[in-house]
Structures are given as structure tokens and as C-alpha cells.
Amino acid sequence: MTPIDAISKGHDCVEDDANRRGNVMNLRKILPVLLFFLFGGIFVSVGSGVAHQESSSSMFGNGTFEIAGMRVPDIGPLPTAVPTPPMNLNYKSKTKLGEQLFFDGRLSRNGAISCAFCHTPGLGFADPKQVSIGVGGKQGGRQAPTVYNTGFNPVQFWDGRAGSLEEQAIGPIINPVEMAETHENVVNKLNQIKGYVEQFQAVFGTTVNMQGIAEAIAAYERTIISTNSAFDKYVLGDKAAMSEEAQWGMALFKGKARCILCHNGSNFTDNKFHNLGVPQVGPMKEDLGRYYVTRRPEDTGAFKTPTLRSIIETAPYMHDGAFKTLEEVVDFIDAGGGANQNLSPLMKPLGLSVAEKTELIAFLHALTGEEIPFKFPELPE
């Protein structure tokens, strides 16, 4: 039996992901002044994953997969285009401006803390610290997730409190434990910088404002994509791209180890919230997670399923950075998660052997995307 045979049957070929994703997403009004955000969001996808789908095996991608009586989106190659809201179409000058803003510490109160300070290229656009440290050495309570592929996710933050990248981008600037600045100050400061004033004129036809900052940063983030991993190549037909060990790991991922119950679809996340009973470590005594957003008791201690793409680059793991290695994570999930009165019913002890855990981790390594060539952008004066 090959690893492929070991994956249980039950794949339907349905519409490609990009088309299915093109449904309504509700973007919420966040600030009355930012009327822009009321675009009530039909997300369109420029281009589609069709080219991918044709060459992919019918076993993979863009279909659904049945496990434990549930039908979930199959894992598969990432669509070739990131979903982009029609109100913020990407173009080169906008993403270039967004890149500068992402790396510019002047968006923070002390001039030193840029987005990239905690979402560092070369470190998986994440933060190797257990919890992030912002202006004045203040500690936040959560581990900084990667920015990779956030453009594919309809919810942002561990608790999903932001819906779009535009909405997300303005949060850290005013967060007292992150950039600790006010929107008014940022706008005033950037309006003193000739290079920004000129670019805002060219891109938006306005002076610097929060809406433009949010749009440009979000447009840049949509270019930070982890794809073309060994896994993508494998499912698109290059059977030599993934080691046999990783192929067995994939079979476990979709079978005995049940990871696909939550880490599913082309970005390896269901974009839903689950309580895994992760031990709460770090400065927060208790983190109720999704409950803060919905106030529903069943959401207590539930966090967003993170993507697993390029996961080896973004240790430590979990919302509070409780685990330093993938081995620790797999051991934890193998044990059925942690004791918690609100533990997800999808969690149960798996009984994985040492060899099976090694295979699973080999598969996680195969999700590492192609390196993104990176040069620190020149910041305007």
C-alpha cells in the first residue's frame, strides 16, 4: 500500500476554491470616520486556481474530504491569486507604499517599532519571542502569528476580532502594548514626510490618511505568500517533490492523526475557533480567546486555527507561544490536547507511534513555501 492508498476515499471534485471563496464576507464598520470600510464586501478573486486544478490529481485540492463523519475542504495547492476586495485592488505603487509603511518605525510612538519588528521577514514574518514586546518594552499577551497568507483568511487575530486586513492594519498602531501611537499623530507625522506625501498623492490623490495607510499595508500583505512548497509540487503532479516519509505523514494528517478536521483547505485552516486546552503561559493569567468577541460561553478559550504553511519558520507555537517545537505540539495533540472544561469535541487521544510522529513532522516540513526574495525597502524622508 502506498501513502496515497492509505488516504481514505471520498473526494468530490467541486468548484475550485477561488470561485467558492467568492462569496459574501461581511466587513464590519470599525470607525465611523472610516466609512470606507463599509464596502459590505463581495470579495472577488482576480484570476483563479483553475490552471492548478487541471493539472492536479483528482485526489487533491479544491474538493472535499470526509473524515470522522464530517465533510471538510480538502488540503490542496494554494490558488494562484489572492482574494482581493474590489475596494482595494492591488497595484504596484500601492503595494510599494504599503511595504514602506510596514517597515517604518515612525508609525509608532517611539519611532522604533514597525510592523516588521514583530512580523519579521527571514523569521517567517512572525516573532520568535514567546510574546511580543512593543513600545517601552511593554509585553503583549499573545504570540505574533505569521503574516504569510493572511490575505487568504477571512478573519484576523487569534480571536478573529478583525475581518479584513484593512481593518486589522490600523489596530497595532494604537495598541498600547504594540505601537502605542494615535491615528492623529501618525497621520500628522507622515504628512511631514515629503516622500509619503508625494506617494499618497500619486496613489490615492489625497494627503496621508488612515484609510490610505490601511489600504496600502493590506495590499502589501497580500503579496506575502507562502506557496510552491514541496507539498504543492507533489499535489500538482511532481511525485518526487515530497519524501516518502512526508507522504506517509500526509496520510496520517488526513487519517489517523485527524489534523485535517481543522487544518483544511488550501491554506490549512478552517478559519474557525477551537479550544485545544493549550496551557496558558506568559503574562496573561487567562485568555478567553474567541469569547471576548462573541460572548458565547462555548467560545471560551477557543482560538483561530492557524495556517500550517511555512510552519517550521514560525516557532514558538500556539496563541501564547506555549510550545517551542513541532515535536511538543504533536505530542500535545497526540495526547488529545490539554485538560479543559471547554475542550473541543474534535480532540481525542490519537495513539501515534514515535515513527508516525516523525512522519507527520516531515509532512509539516514539506509545507515550507518558496523563499520570498527580500530587500529592506528604502524609507522616504
Tell me the catalytic residues.
178
Rule CB under 6 A: say whether 157 interacts with ligand HEC: yes
Please identify, among the stretches 88-96, 111-119, 197-205, 232-240, the one whose residues bind ligand HEC according to the rule CB under 6 A.
111-119
Binding range to ligand HEC, per CB under 6 A, among 152-160, 180-188, 203-211, 365-373: 152-160
| Per-position x/- string for 315-354, each x denoting binding to ligand HEC as judged by CB under 6 A, each - no binding | --xxx------x--xx--x----------x-xx-------
CA atoms within 13 A on the CB side of 55: 13
Residue 244-283 contact track with ligand HEC, rule CB under 6 A, x = bound? -------------xxx-xxx----------x-x-x-----
Q: Which three cell numbers mark 56? A: 492536479
Closest CB 159 distance from ligand HEC, rounded Å = 6
3-state secondary structure of 349: coil
178 lines the binding site for ligand HEC (CB under 6 A)? yes
Q: Within 10 A of 340 (CB to CB), how many other CB atoms are there?
A: 16
Considering the complex, state which of residue 16 and residue 107 has its C-beta at the smaller distance from ligand HEC: 107
Give the residue from 89, 73, 69 showing the smallest Cα distance to 21. Answer: 73
1 to 40: interface string for ligand HEC, x by CB under 6 A: ----------------------------------------
On whether the CB atoms of residues 224 and 125 are closer than 8 A, the answer is yes
Candidate ranges 4-12, 154-162, 199-207, 232-240; the one touching ligand HEC (CB under 6 A): 154-162
Residue 134 touches ligand HEC, criterion: CB under 6 A: yes
x/- letters, 81..110, toward ligand HEC (CB under 6 A): ---------------------x--------
Identified binder of ligand HEC from the candidate list 152, 158, 248, 291, rule CB under 6 A: 158
CB atoms within 10 A of CB 345: 7
For residue 197, with 0-12 CB atoms within 10 Å meaning exposed, 13-18 middle and 19 or more buried, which class applies? middle
Asked if 180 is part of the footprint of ligand HEC (rule: CB under 6 A), the reply reads no
DSSP 206: S
Identify which of residues 58 and 325 has a Cβ nearer to ligand HEC in the complex.
325
Can you state the percent helix, strand and coil of the chain, rounding each to 5? 35, 10, 55
Min separation Cβ 187 and ligand HEC, Å:
14
**Residue 353: how many CB atoms within 10 A of its CB?**
10
- Written as nine digits, the cell of 272 is 474557525
Three-state DSSP class for residue 367: coil
CB of 92 to ligand HEC, least distance (A): 19
Q: Taking the CB of residue 261, how many other CB atoms lie within 10 A of it?
A: 19
Angle, helices 354-365 vs 244-253, to 10°: value is 100
Residue 256 cell numbers, joined: 489517523
- As a whole number of angstroms, the distance between CA 357 and CA 278 comes to 19
Which cell numbers hold the place of 376?
529592506
Q: Report in angstroms how near the CB of residue 28 gets to ligand HEC at its nearest.
A: 16
> What are the grid coordinates assigned to 361, written together?
513532522
Nearer to ligand HEC, 193 or 257 (CB): 257
Among 245, 241, 193, 196, smallest CA distance to 216 is for 196
Cis preceding-peptide flag for 73 (omega within 30 of 0): no
- List the one residue out of 304, 301, 294, 291 whose CA is nearest residue 262: 304
Determine the interface stretch with ligand HEC among 24-32, 81-89, 141-149, 225-233 (rule: CB under 6 A). Answer: 141-149
Q: Which range binds ligand HEC by CB under 6 A, 13-21, 85-93, 137-145, 196-204?
A: 137-145
**C-beta of 55: minimal distance to ligand HEC in Å?**
27
Task: Please give the grid coordinates belonging to residue 322.
Answer: 506555549
What are the residues binding ligand HEC (CB under 6 A)?
A: 102, 113, 115, 117-119, 132, 134, 140, 142, 144-145, 147, 150, 156-158, 165, 168-169, 172-173, 178-179, 217, 257-259, 261-263, 274, 276, 278, 303, 305-306, 308, 311, 314, 317-319, 326, 329-330, 333, 344, 346-347, 360
